[in-house]
Structure 1
Amino acid sequence: MAELTPSGSGEAPRPSAPPPDGMLRIRGGVGGLSYQFEELLAGAAALDGVVRRLCALEAEADGVRRALFGYQPDSYRTGSNAIIAVGEAGQEVGRVRAELEHIAVQVRASRREYEFTEARNALLLRMGLAGPEYGTGQQMFGLPGVRDQVERGVAMAPHGLVLLLGLPVPVAGVAAALSGPTDVRRAVRELSMAPGLAFLKPRPVTVVGRHSGAGDVDLSPAGLLRRAEAVGRNSGDIEILQVDGGDGRAWVVVVPGTQLGGLPEGTNPFDAAGIAEGLGYDSQETTAAIRQALREAGAEAGEQLAVVGYSQGGIHAMNLSRDKAFLAEFDLKYVLTAGSPVGGITPEPGIGSLHLEHQHDWVPGADGVANADTKERVTVTLTNGLAMPPPQDFGLGPGHRLENYAAGAEAVSASRDPSLLASTAALAAVVGAGGTASVTRFSLRREPLPAPGAVTAPGPNRGAGVPPPRPPAPGAGPATAREPLGVPG
Structure 2
Amino acid sequence: MAEVSPAGSGGAPVPAAAVDGMLRIRGGVGGLSFQFEELLAGASALDGLVGELADTEAEAEAVRRALFPYQSDSYTTGSNAIVAVGEAARALGRVRMELESLCGEVRASHREYESAEARNTLLLRIGRTGPGYGPLWSLVGLPPLTVRDTVEDEFSLAPGRLALLLGLPAGAAAAGGQSGGVRAAVRGLADAPGMEFLRPRPVRVTGRETRTEEADVSPAGLLLRAAAVGRNSGEIEVLRLGESGNRAWAVIIPGTQLDGLPQGTNPFDATGIAEGLGYDSAETAAAVRQALAEAGAEAGDQVAAVGYSQGGIHALNLGRDKAFLADYELKFVLTAGSPVGGIEPGPGISSLHLEHEQDWVPGADGLPNPDLKNRVTVTLTTPIPGHEWLEPGMGPGHAMDRYADGARDIAASRDPSLQASTAALAAVVGAGGTATVTRIQLRREAMPPQRATPVAPGPRRLEGKPPDNARLRASGDVPSGRGPGESWPRGTPR
Amino acid aligned to 1:312: Q
Encode CA deviations 1:226-279: one digit per residue, 9 max, x unaligned. 110111111111000000179711111000001121222222211111111111
In structure 2, the partner of 1:293 is: 291
In structure 1, the partner of 2:228 is: 230
In structure 2, the partner of 1:60 is: 59
In structure 2, the partner of 1:486 is: none
8 Å contact kept, 2:19–2:25: no
Between the aligned partners of 1:452 and 1:93, the Cα distance in structure 2 is: 82
Between the aligned partners of 1:76 and 1:193, the Cα distance in structure 2 is: 92
Q: 1:72–1:198: structure 2 CA closer, same or farther, 3 Å change rule?
A: closer
Q: 1:452–1:69: structure 2 CA closer, same or farther, 3 Å change rule?
A: closer
Superposed displacement of residue 23, structure 1: 1.4
Superposed displacement of residue 113, structure 1: 3.2
Amino acid aligned to 2:330: L
Instruction: Calculate the aligned-residue CA RMSD, in Å.
Output: 3.4
In structure 1, the partner of 2:109 is: 110
8 Å contact kept, 1:130–1:138: no
Q: 1:240–1:205: structure 2 CA closer, same or farther, 3 Å change rule?
A: same
In structure 2, the partner of 1:188 is: 186
Superposed displacement of residue 301, structure 1: 1.4
Between the aligned partners of 2:420 and 2:244, the Cα distance in structure 1 is: 15
In structure 2, the partner of 1:157 is: 158
8 Å contact kept, 1:131–1:138: no
Superposed displacement of residue 197, structure 1: 3.2
Instruction: Pick the aligned partner of 2:315 from 314, 317, 336.
Output: 317
8 Å contact kept, 2:54–2:96: yes
Amino acid aligned to 1:401: A
Q: 1:76–1:141: structure 2 CA closer, same or farther, 3 Å change rule?
A: same
Secondary structure (helix, strand or coil) at the match of 1:443 reads strand
Superposed displacement of residue 379, structure 1: 1.0
More off after superposition, 66-75 vs 388-397: 66-75
What is the TM-score when the length of structure 2 is the normalising length?
0.79
Q: 1:138–1:268: structure 2 CA closer, same or farther, 3 Å change rule?
A: farther
Amino acid aligned to 1:40: L
Amino acid aligned to 1:51: V
Secondary structure (helix, strand or coil) at the match of 1:141 reads coil
Encode CA deviations 1:26-53: one digit per residue, 9 max, x unaligned. 1112222222222222111111111122
Between the aligned partners of 2:283 and 2:367, the Cα distance in structure 1 is: 24
Secondary structure (helix, strand or coil) at the match of 1:416 reads coil
Alignment of 1:188-337 (within 5 A): 188-244=186-242, 248-337=246-335
Secondary structure (helix, strand or coil) at the match of 1:209 reads strand
Bigger Rg, structure 1 or 2: 2
8 Å contact kept, 2:359–2:397: yes
In structure 2, the partner of 1:50 is: 49
8 Å contact kept, 2:251–2:306: yes
8 Å contact kept, 2:230–2:255: yes
Encode CA deviations 1:282-325: one digit per residue, 9 max, x unaligned. 21221121122111101111111110000000011111111111
8 Å contact kept, 2:160–2:174: no
Alignment of 1:405 with 2:403, yes or no, is yes
8 Å contact kept, 1:131–1:139: no
Secondary structure (helix, strand or coil) at the match of 1:321 reads helix
Encode CA deviations 1:151-209: one digit per residue, 9 max, x unaligned. 1111012454578799xxxxx9xx85897586111211222233443332222222222
Between the aligned partners of 1:433 and 1:138, the Cα distance in structure 2 is: 45
Encode CA deviations 1:383-442: one digit per residue, 9 max, x unaligned. 121224546744111111111111111111112222222211211111111110100101
Q: Structure 2: where are the runs of 5+ without partners?
A: 4-11, 454-494
Alignment of 1:87 with 2:90, yes or no, is no
In structure 2, the partner of 1:471 is: none
Q: 1:33–1:158: structure 2 CA closer, same or farther, 3 Å change rule?
A: same
Count of residues in Structure 1 that have an aligned counterpart in Structure 2:
439
Alignment of 1:427-442 (within 5 A): 427-442=425-440
